[in-house]
Chain A
Amino acid sequence: MILEVKNLSVTTKDDLGILNDVNLNVKKGEVVVLMGPNGSGKSTLANILMGNPNYKINSGEIVYNNERINDLGSDERARRGMFLSFQYPAEISGVTISNFLRTALSSIKGEKVSIISFKKLLREKMETLKIDEKFAERYLNDGFSGGEKKKTEILQMSVLEPKLCILDETDSGLDVDSLKIVGEGVNKLKNGKRSFLIITHYNRILDYIKPDRVYVMKNGKIAKEGSGKLAFELEREGYKNIG
């Protein structure tokens, strides 16, 4: 088991309850999809898994790779192999993608990555994702379109090679071509060992990625759990009859 969420209840800093007794797990190599209507708490779960300080855990546990990580900083979680593809990535002006990603990779590896080997790696990954080479020297997400931001998230994921990839609505706001590139990018990262928790509202990304299991969240709770087929049932019938 790579991830176990046990009886997790979460509030905002202002004590507004958002998640209530959530149980969820992801096995090694598994592709798990988390679905649910807007405002059901999916993004909150993604953020609390990654340690966003805007939320706090009231009860329950997050266990990653057999370690309780409730109190670990985001940077520590990333160094242990967790990755969150943000729904709304921050814009960091003045910091180039290349400089940022090399800093990140060096932090995760625990040793300085040489500029030459990094540039080569970055070029390869950008080529696969059909991202223009010039992007490497652009400021991180600064003035990027929605699609460019999402592709940059996947680029980061493929450079950092995490063990658990959490994708928060990565498929929203993408045109058909970008969606295909992102979908294929994710597929390339599937290697039987790497695990995925894919959060989606529309399940458009499921045209490219076949889930092993599906959770459905509603009103801050897990309302249903099922096999991969559940995703397609939901696409036809919606969330009305659940929970």
Chain B
Amino acid sequence: MKFEKLDSSVIKDISNDEPEWFVSDRLRSLELFNQAKDDSFTYGLTMKTDISKINVSDYSSKMNLVIKNKDDRIIVKDFKEAFNDESDLIKKYFMKSIKTKMELLHRSLVQNGLLIYIPRNVKVKKELILDYEFLNNSFDHILIVADINSEINVIEKLTSNEVFRSNIVEIYAKDNSKVNFYSLQDLDENSNNFSIKRSFVGKDATCNFFSFDFGSLLNFNNVYSELVDEGANSKIYETYFSNNNQQFNLACSMHHKSNNTNSNIYTKGVLDDKSNTIYRGLVKIYENAENSNGYQKEDALILSEDSKADSIPNLEINNYDVKCSHGSSIGHIDKDKLFYLMSRGISKEDSVKLVVDGFLGEIIDYVSNEELREELKIKVIEKIK
């Protein structure tokens, strides 16, 4: 991966009207980025994701964002605007810990940051819809702060035209709040996507991710959930469908840092043509997280001879008073299932469609928004040629 012509003048160009602290953080991150050794994303059992062909030289974001169903009681603002009145929120929550080289790059170049704040006791039932269309390379960010006893459902839909995209979503679910974040990643297959989604879940709060990865040539999606306080809950539903020459590198992890915390990771993927997918799962239980439960399951369905899947589920347990399990399966469509469906008059092609549709449908059926559910089902059918 190469980043050309990346120096402080780039940062100057993109940071008009920003507070001084924000800009100086950019510059410091850029310095650290230039010093950091290469993150190679090679983790896999038998394969690695090839990022050598990525070459970025244009750093100015250009995109359309359409926001639908915004409730009057909540704040949804671009950072540029939020710096006026909500600067404290950004200062307090925005990128508090940076772990990788890609995050340093993101911190130095972030544009189109979006702050979503849900005040105390405000429960928004209708899903907030964020419709993104990336027209140029993008370094976009979403920061969600759900205050005590609040509730929010956010749906992001992503499309693009030949872009490099770096994205971070950060969610702070404060005590007793409830957040569901849905992501439909449908970038074009000449785009490369690097996304990190992170949540920090408070006392008796819940944060769930529903990630649907269909698009882009190289797709990195890292979903991380930290169960910070007692009684925190989190689920990650990761669904993907790769085909043609797509390469997906997916990671889902749960970090139990307190008592009575519960997590579940459920991943389902379909691979076709020459695509490959590396999946890593981790449930980590810290020493002081007694009486916690963590489950993970990954199933991959392979439709072609040339596609490949690597699945690496991990458990890291530092406390004995816990319940954890993991399971993974990788396989082709069961011949007996095909025979059964075909014996009812359904053609082979349509039988495969039904099985795949049902396989992913099991997760899609968890989506409460009917419109999104239908959109996802159509997307799946489109992917099955």
A93 touches B358 (CB 8 A): yes
Q: Is the CB of B345 within 8 A of A75?
A: yes
Residues in A with CB closer than 8 Å to B360 are 94
Find chain B residues with CB under 8 A from A95 CB.
354-355, 357-358, 361
The residue on B at minimum CB distance from A81 is: B345
Kindly list chain B residues whose C-beta atoms are within 8 Å of the C-beta of A156: 344
Q: B319-343: contact bitstring with A at CB < 8 Å (1 yes, 0 no)? A: 0000000000000001111011111
Chain A 43-60 residues near chain B, CB threshold 8 A: 50-54
Is there contact, CB below 8 Å, between A73 and B342? yes
Q: B344 and A104: CB pair below 8 A?
A: yes
B359 touches A53 (CB 8 A): no
Q: Report which of B345, B355, B365 forms a contact with A78, defined as CB distance below 8 A.
A: B345
Closest A-chain residue to B349, C-beta based? Answer: A75
CB atoms of B359 and A94 under 8 A apart:
yes
Instruction: From the candidates A50, A54, A90, name the one contacting B337 in the complex (CB within 8 A).
Output: A90
**Chain A CB within 8 A of B350 CB:** yes
- Residue-wise, chain A 78-110 has the 8 Å CB interface mask toward B (1 for contact) of 110001101001101111000111011001100
Bound Cα distance A101, B346 (Å): 10
Give chain B's interface secondary structure class.
helix
Q: Does A25 contact B (CB under 8 A)?
A: no
Given contacts A92-B354, A95-B355, contact A75 B348 (CB under 8 A): yes
Closest residue to B353 on the A side, CB-wise?
Answer: A103
A74: CB under 8 A from chain B?
yes
Verify if B362 is at the interface (C-beta below 8 Å from A). Answer: yes
**B347 touches A (CB below 8 Å):** yes
Partner of A74, one of B343, B361, B362: B343
Number of A-B contacts (CB under 8 A): 86
Known: A54-B335, A86-B340. Is A94-B346 also a contact (CB below 8 A)? no
Q: Mark B341-385, 1 if CB is under 8 A from A, else 0.
A: 111111110110011011111100100000000000000000000
Residues on the B chain within 8 Å of A50, using CB: 339, 343
Select from chain A the residue with minimum beta-carbon distance to B364: A94
Question: Is the beta-carbon distance between B340 and A92 smaller than 8 angstroms?
Answer: yes
Asked if B345 and A160 sit within 8 Å, CB to CB, the answer is: yes
Q: Is the CB of A75 within 8 A of B342?
A: yes
Which single residue of chain A is at the shortest CB-CB distance from B339? Answer: A52
Q: A104-B344, A104-B346 are in contact. Are A92 and B355 (CB under 8 A)?
A: yes
Which residue from B337, B348, B350, B365 sits with its C-beta under 8 Å from A92? B337
Docked complex Cα distance between A73 and B334 (Å): 17
B→A interface (CB under 8 Å):
334-337, 339-348, 350-351, 354-355, 357-362, 365
What are 12 inter-chain pairs, A to B, with CB distance below 8 A? Answer: A51-B342, A75-B345, A75-B351, A78-B342, A92-B341, A94-B359, A94-B365, A95-B354, A100-B344, A107-B344, A107-B346, A107-B350
| Pairs A-B, 10 closest by C-beta atoms | A94-B358, A78-B345, A95-B358, A94-B361, A104-B344, A90-B340, A74-B342, A108-B345, A107-B345, A94-B362
